[in-house]
Amino acid sequence: QVQLVESGGGVVQPGKSLRLSCVASGFTFSSFPMNWVRQIPGKGLEWVAVISYDGNNKHYADAVEGRFTISRDNSENTLFLQMNSLRSEDTAVYYCARESTRPTDYWGQGTLVTVSS
Amino acid sequence: DIQMTQSPSTLSASVGDRVTITCRASQSISSWLAWYQQKPGKAPKLLIYKASTLETGVPSRFSGSRSGTEFTLTISSLQPDDFATYHCQQYNSYKWTFGQGTKVEI
């Protein structure tokens, strides 16, 4: 059974950093590209970043380019999102999502990041 | 970036109603369009991909269609479990973009 479990969210001050994790199980993690998607509470979905199955290719949304870094540890079946220089507009629920041809088939339950002084 | 314009933002309907939600892409995305259903506090659930292919396990009352850059999600007969928010998503490029969402309420 495929499972994606995010952690690492919380309340952080503007300008600070936070690292999110997504632990995968129930499938061969190293075979799938992975994405981070966020959602401001009560609003729509926004794609954040994608990483290839081997970690060699990464792409970011313009809104986070240069501040966020996506990475993965295939030996630990874990996806990461390092978020630096956080802003109030980064406040959202962050989901990890497995990419397939459909284009995604599994999502985590999300972790809430609140950027506030 | 490709913009997705989804309408309406809110839709009031009754059980048994036929419901239609539309998404328009700012440029051609071929049929690389997916629809998701989301309930409060939950992750989105894939309903339809490639504009009209029903995900396994999704009831047949859901259907999707495409006309150029306009895409439609139709629920043929609304059921109590269908009251939720629906999102469209283009995946023509690695920079996915989503519509603003449509809340289907009673």
C-alpha span between A89 and B84 (Å, rounded): 25
Percent of chain B topping pLDDT 90: 96
Chain A residues within an 8 Å CB radius of B1: 62
Tell me the chain B residues in contact with residue A109 when contact means C-beta distances shorter than 8 Å.
42-43
Average pLDDT, stretch B32-61? 96
Residue of B nearest to A49 (CA): B95
Please judge whether A110 and B43 are an interchain contact, meaning their C-beta atoms are less than 8 angstroms apart.
yes
pLDDT of residue B89: 97
Residue A63, chain B, CB below 8 Å: the answer is: no
Mean pLDDT of B26-37: 97
Which chain A positions have a beta carbon within 8 Å of B89's beta carbon? 45, 103
Tell me whether residues A44 and B34 touch, CB distance under 8 A. no
**H helices then E strands: how many in chain B?**
0, 11
Distance CA A81, CA A69 (A): 6
Outline where A1-117 has alpha helix (H): none
Residue A60: left (phi > 0), alpha (psi -120 to 50), or beta? beta
Mean pLDDT, rounded, of chain B: 96
A102/B50 CB distance under 8 A: yes
CB B96 within 8 A of CB B40: no
For A49-94, write each residue's pLDDT tens digit: 999 999 999 999 999 999 999 999 999 999 999 999 999 999 999 9
CA distance B42 to chain A (A): 6
- B101 contacts A43? CB cut-off 8 A: yes
Pairing assessment for the beta strands B4-7 and A104-107 based on DSSP bridges:
unpaired
Q: Which two tokens stand for residue B7?
A: 């309408």
- Which amino acid is present at A62? D
CA B106/CA B98 separation, integer angstroms = 24
List of chain B residues whose C-beta atoms are within 8 Å of the C-beta of residue A108: 43
CB A39 within 8 A of CB A89: no
Q: Three-state SS across chain B?
A: CCCEEEECCEEECCCCCCEEEEEEECCCCCCCEEEEEECCCCCCEEEEECCCEECCCCCCCEEEEEECCEEEEEECCCCHHHCCEEEEEECCCCCCEECCCEEEEC
